[in-house]
């Protein structure tokens, strides 16, 4: 997807088209007054005060028709500079323009642009003529508080997009439609994966039975991977005393992102934003020898962060989420081998999910703004160099990004390109000398002296919530068979004549752990098959006279019209292998 804000040519074109839209709106709604009309990543919008009028869906076509007239008129877009005082006089009846002008310092020369009968304040630049903006589409509309303040009036916000040619516009609109179908918020609702409720609270997802199935399967999957690599799983509380977060530094450095403090019984508690402090306490509960290290503590942990309401994005970014988290306590000599092992685990998981478009990012502190980080320059230089050397030793391509480090240490982030074109951080590896110091962690070294361990923070799936959102958008909700919350439906051709055999097939599938439903409703066969396709059920098993006679089934896959006849025994064996091996592509074929 293009970024209209960063592309200079598209930025200019879309800003000009925003003025074209404003001109058309002024023709249709003479009372209209305009606030701001910026270019954003996906096109442009304009905030408009229409008085008592309200924009409805059907009004967009009317505005587009008028915009086409304005574009066809081929009016030159002319820039003019006036003084601040002249601007105040010219726009004296428009409180929105007066507000903008009053923000400008005395003596400022203000630019405005005129196209035919429409003039507006603007810094520009613009295209030469309105005819350059003829390939456009108004996408949607909504309400927006003036200046983003809920105490102010609600304005009408209209979104649009403009491209240089009709072909490019058509292609972009097709991409937008694809993105709409991939939006995990829509898919999550349609597939009954999760929901939100204003009564429960913004950003607090409710996971429905289908969603919990997906979460459980993902949790079991990654826990088994970790257990095979020597991780020890724990469970720690989601709330803790503020004493813990004062030691860790979260209360000082992360307070704005945490839920408010709760006071009770002369103590203060807070919902945790992350799990590292609790894991430090677990490590510290015993005396460890160098022979014990590395110690890998892992948890599927519930965390809470008070994200701004405007930043909430379904389960991709919420206020309650679950992390696939771990902390590795090791010696300095073990840093390289442990980070390599974590990187190999990340690549192994990505291979299982066929994730190929990703980059490694070395996230460093901002050297110009060091007050928000723990520790001294020497420790930061040392830990950043160690991560850089490990990446070089592994011959892993990477890029560096200043200002993206955690407040306690640098990290390696794996940036995955989503199907919607978003740059998403799924996995992370963080090197930390600070928390072992703050919690006074120790181990007994080979010579008997006590030393500080180093901590490697790492998350493979990252937030399981975000990983589910990512998978839904990657697959359009067509999850691999092993992960699908509803895996199969058995459909008897005639519920009366073939219902008993269909129940037998359901029982056999359930015996091997396949999540199976029976559709024996008194509806036409074609209707039931189409509904299974609409519900994106991976496997449809149709049974009739022939299947009963041969103790077999007819298999249909989601998205395919092909039918495969096979014995029930062959089918059960093949489907079990596909699920057990977590195959991504449908491979159940007649033996």
Q: Which residue has the tokens 């493979």?
A: 460
Same domain, 66 and 112: yes
- In degrees, rounded to 5, the angle at the alpha carbon of residue 467 between the alpha carbons of residues 463 and 468 is 120
Q: Judge whether residue 129 has pLDDT over 70.
A: yes
End-to-end Cα separation, the chain, in angstroms? 43
Same domain, 489 and 393: no
Phi, psi of 472 (to 5 degrees): -60, -40
Question: Looking at the domain assignment, is residue 1 inside a domain?
Answer: no
- pLDDT at residue number 416: 87
Our measurement of the distance from residue 546's CA atom to the centroid of its chain's CA atoms, rounded to an integer in Å, reads 47
Helix axis angle, 166-182 to 464-475, nearest 10°: 130
Selection from 440, 354, 343 nearest residue 395 by Cα: 343
- Reading the block at residue 353, the tokens are 């999910």
Same domain, 568 and 468: no
**Cis omega before residue 14 (within 30°)?**
no
Q: Is 158 within 8 Å of 32 (Cβ atoms)?
A: no
Q: Say if pTM beats, i.e. exceeds, 0.85.
A: no
| Residue at which a domain ends, from 443, 475, 507 | 475
How far apart (Å, rounded) are the C-alpha atoms in residues 584 and 591?
Answer: 19
Same domain, 489 and 552: yes
Q: Judge whether residue 564 has pLDDT over 60.
A: yes
Phi, psi of 241 (to 5 degrees): -65, 145
Instruction: Express as a percent the part of the chain with pLDDT over 70.
Output: 98
Q: Judge whether residue 481 has pLDDT over 70.
A: yes
Report the CATH number at residue 540: 3.40.50.800
Helix (H, G, I), strand (E, B) or coil at 163: coil
Question: Looking at the domain assignment, is residue 119 inside a domain?
Answer: yes
Same domain, 485 and 407: no
Q: Judge whether residue 424 has pLDDT over 90.
A: no
Q: How confident is the model at residue 170 (pLDDT cuts 50, 70, 90)?
A: very high
| Total number of domains constituting the chain | 3
Selection from 74, 55, 60, 76 nearest residue 21 by Cα: 60
Domain that holds residue 522: 481-589
Q: Residues with Cβ < 8 Å from 240, sequence gap 6 or more?
A: 269, 270, 272, 277, 278
- pLDDT at residue number 459: 95
Q: How confident is the model at residue 539 (pLDDT cuts 50, 70, 90)?
A: very high
Helices vs. strands in the chain: H and E counts, helices first = 18, 28
- pLDDT at residue number 586: 57
Residue ranges of the annotated binding site for Zn(2+) are 276, 327, 457
Q: Judge whether residue 372 has pLDDT over 80.
A: no
User: Mean pLDDT across the chain, nearest whole number?
Assistant: 91
Question: Looking at the domain assignment, is residue 2 inside a domain?
Answer: no
**Cis omega before residue 125 (within 30°)?**
yes
The catalytic site residues sit at 276, 305, 323, 325, 327, 411, 457
How far apart (Å, rounded) are the C-alpha atoms in residues 505 and 489?
Answer: 10
Question: Looking at the domain assignment, is residue 155 inside a domain?
Answer: yes
- pLDDT at residue number 588: 39
Our measurement of the distance from residue 220's CA atom to the centroid of its chain's CA atoms, rounded to an integer in Å, reads 22
Q: Which residue has the tokens 């879309």?
A: 14
CA torsion 370→375→379→380, rounded to 10°? -30
Residue ranges of the annotated binding site are 276, 327, 457
| Residue at which a domain ends, from 180, 206, 241 | 180
Same domain, 125 and 83: yes
Selection from 312, 309, 238, 228 nearest residue 270 by Cα: 238
Average of pLDDT values for 172-193? 91
Q: pLDDT by residue (tens digit) across 306-317?
A: 998 888 899 999
Average of pLDDT values for 546-559? 93
Same domain, 409 and 536: no
Selection from 220, 463, 460 nearest residue 342 by Cα: 460
How far apart (Å, rounded) are the C-alpha atoms in residues 360 and 385?
Answer: 15
Q: Judge whether residue 474 has pLDDT over 80.
A: yes
Q: Judge whether residue 587 has pLDDT over 60.
A: no
How far apart (Å, rounded) are the C-alpha atoms in residues 14 and 45?
Answer: 9
Q: How far is CA 405 from CA 255, 374, 400, in A?
A: 17, 11, 10
Q: What one-character DSSP code corresponds to residue 325?
A: E
Q: Judge whether residue 49 has pLDDT over 90.
A: yes
- Reading the block at residue 181, the tokens are 């179908």
- pLDDT at residue number 310: 80
How far apart (Å, rounded) are the C-alpha atoms in residues 415 and 460?
Answer: 12
Same domain, 133 and 214: no
- pLDDT at residue number 591: 31
- pLDDT at residue number 1: 62
Our measurement of the distance from residue 79's CA atom to the centroid of its chain's CA atoms, rounded to an integer in Å, reads 41
- pLDDT at residue number 106: 79
Helix (H, G, I), strand (E, B) or coil at 239: strand
- pLDDT at residue number 150: 81
Question: Looking at the domain assignment, is residue 3 inside a domain?
Answer: no
- Reading the block at residue 438, the tokens are 């703050």
Q: How confident is the model at residue 6 (pLDDT cuts 50, 70, 90)?
A: confident
- pLDDT at residue number 401: 87
């Amino acid at each position: 997807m293009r970024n209209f804000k960063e592309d200079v040519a598209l930025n200019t074109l879309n800003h000009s088209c925003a003025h074209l839209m404003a001109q058309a709106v002024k023709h249709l709604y003479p009372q209209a007054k305009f606030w701001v009309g910026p270019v954003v990543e996906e096109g442009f919008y304009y905030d408009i005060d229409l008085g008592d009028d309200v924009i409805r869906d059907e009004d967009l076509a009317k505005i587009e028709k008028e915009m086409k007239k304005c574009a066809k008129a081929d009016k030159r877009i002319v820039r003019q500079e006036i003084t601040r005082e002249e601007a105040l006089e010219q726009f004296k009846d428009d409180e929105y323009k007066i507000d903008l002008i009053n923000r400008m310092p005395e003596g400022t020369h203000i630019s405005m642009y005129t196209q035919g009968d429409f003039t507006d304040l603007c810094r520009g630049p613009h295209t030469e003529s309105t005819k350059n903006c003829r390939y456009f589409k108004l996408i949607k509309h909504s309400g927006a508080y003036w200046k983003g303040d809920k105490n102010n009036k609600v304005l009408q916000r209209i979104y649009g997009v403009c491209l240089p040619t009709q072909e490019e516009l058509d292609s972009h609109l097709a991409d937008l439609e694809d993105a709409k179908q991939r939006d995990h918020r829509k898919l999550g609702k349609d597939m009954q994966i999760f929901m939100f409720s204003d009564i429960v609270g913004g950003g607090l997802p409710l996971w429905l039975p289908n969603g919990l199935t997906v979460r459980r399967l993902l949790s079991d999957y990654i826990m088994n991977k970790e257990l095979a690599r020597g991780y020890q799983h724990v469970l720690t509380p989601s709330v803790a005393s503020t004493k813990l977060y004062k030691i860790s530094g979260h209360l000082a450095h992360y307070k704005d992102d945490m839920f408010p403090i709760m006071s009770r019984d002369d103590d203060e508690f807070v919902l945790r934003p992350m799990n590292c402090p609790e894991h430090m306490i677990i490590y510290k509960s015993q005396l460890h020898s160098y022979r014990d290290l590395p110690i890998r503590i892992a948890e599927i942990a519930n965390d809470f962060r008070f994200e701004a309401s405007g930043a909430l994005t379904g389960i991709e970014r919420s206020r309650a989420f679950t992390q696939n988290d771990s902390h590795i306590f090791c010696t300095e000599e073990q840093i390289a081998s442990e980070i390599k092992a974590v990187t190999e685990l990340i690549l192994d998981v990505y291979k299982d999910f066929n994730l190929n478009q990703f980059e490694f990012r070395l996230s460093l502190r901002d050297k110009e703004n060091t007050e928000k980080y723990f520790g001294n320059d020497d420790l930061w230089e040392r830990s950043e160099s160690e991560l850089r050397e490990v990446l070089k030793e592994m011959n892993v391509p990477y890029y560096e990004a200043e200002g993206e480090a955690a407040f306690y240490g640098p990290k390696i982030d794996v940036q995955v390109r989503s199907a919607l074109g978003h740059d998403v951080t799924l996995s992370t590896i963080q090197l930390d000398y600070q928390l072992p110091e703050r919690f006074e962690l120790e181990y007994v070294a080979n010579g008997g002296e006590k030393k500080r361990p180093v901590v490697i923070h790492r998350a493979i799936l990252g937030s399981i919530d975000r990983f589910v959102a990512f998978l839904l958008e990657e697959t359009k909700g067509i999850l691999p068979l092993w992960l699908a919350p509803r895996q199969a439906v058995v459909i008897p051709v005639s519920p009366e004549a073939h219902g008993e055999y269909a129940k037998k097939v359901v029982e056999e599938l359930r015996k091997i752990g396949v999540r199976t439903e029976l559709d024996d409703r008194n509806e036409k066969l074609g209707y039931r098959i189409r509904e299974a396709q609409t519900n994106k059920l991976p496997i449809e098993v149709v049974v009739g006279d022939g299947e009963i006679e041969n103790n077999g089934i007819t298999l249909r896959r989601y998205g395919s019209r092909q039918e495969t006849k096979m014995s029930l025994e062959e089918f059960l064996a093949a489907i079990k292998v596909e699920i057990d091996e977590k195959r991504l592509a449908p491979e159940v074929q007649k033996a």
